[in-house]
Structure 1
Amino acid sequence: MGIGPALTDEEADQLADVAAELHPAFTGASDAVAMLNKCLIRHAAVPNLHGDPPVLAFHRPGADRVDAWAADAATALAMVIGVGQGVRLRSCDASGCDLVFFDVTRNASRRFCGVSCQNRAKASAYRARRRA
């Protein structure tokens, strides 16, 4: 699809809704798979080759940006879960952070989205211990 014009406010709102819809896949929610399947259907995720040179995409040719991005993201999450790596889809443990990530550590033990959140959480825990 390439880089095109900036997202419209409506597209940004729609993609925020898609992100909220996909978020349970990162938290291990019991209904995550069902919600992911609904998203795949709603945004017509279907593997195909299109473009010149051909690229593998998971949205129909000519799909609008919201459907294209939603279908591709939902398919990527479904593939991760489908190969048994869903446990690596994580949500940041830091208070007030709602970012998600794919844990690439050897033992799937990562808890924070990045060093900033990790440092804030550790500093906060240290201050709490000092007060007690």
Structure 2
Amino acid sequence: MMRWFLVLGAVNAFLSVAAGAFGAHALRARLPVDLQVIFETGARYHMYHALGLVAVGLLGHLRPSPLLAGAGWSMLAGIILFSGSLYALALSGVRVLGAITPLGGVGFLAGWLLFAMAAWRTTQ
């Protein structure tokens, strides 16, 4: 399973770079500045958590753990809900989509907490 987190991390890193480039170039003239900032925030957090998935996969190869699996799935859910809702909000202008974003933030928080717990147990 940890191989999947490495692959998911790499794929999401690719997607976040593509989203960032799309936002910086294709959307620059099409979106108001406030929506560009929202899109860029989605891309930035997308990359942070893609790297988190890679970290989960690497630590999981050393010491597999159910906590790490939970961390990886939580980070992936966070990417989908947080970054996905910000991308959708920026592209559509539908502000109610911002109500989904905090759910993704909870996924990120849970993922990092589970990662910390797994790292603590792994290194003892």
TM exceeding 0.5? no
Shorter-chain TM range is: 0.3 to 0.5
Q: Give TM-score scaled by structure 2 length.
A: 0.34
Q: Give TM-score scaled by structure 1 length.
A: 0.32
Which structure dedicates a bigger proportion of its chain to helix? 2
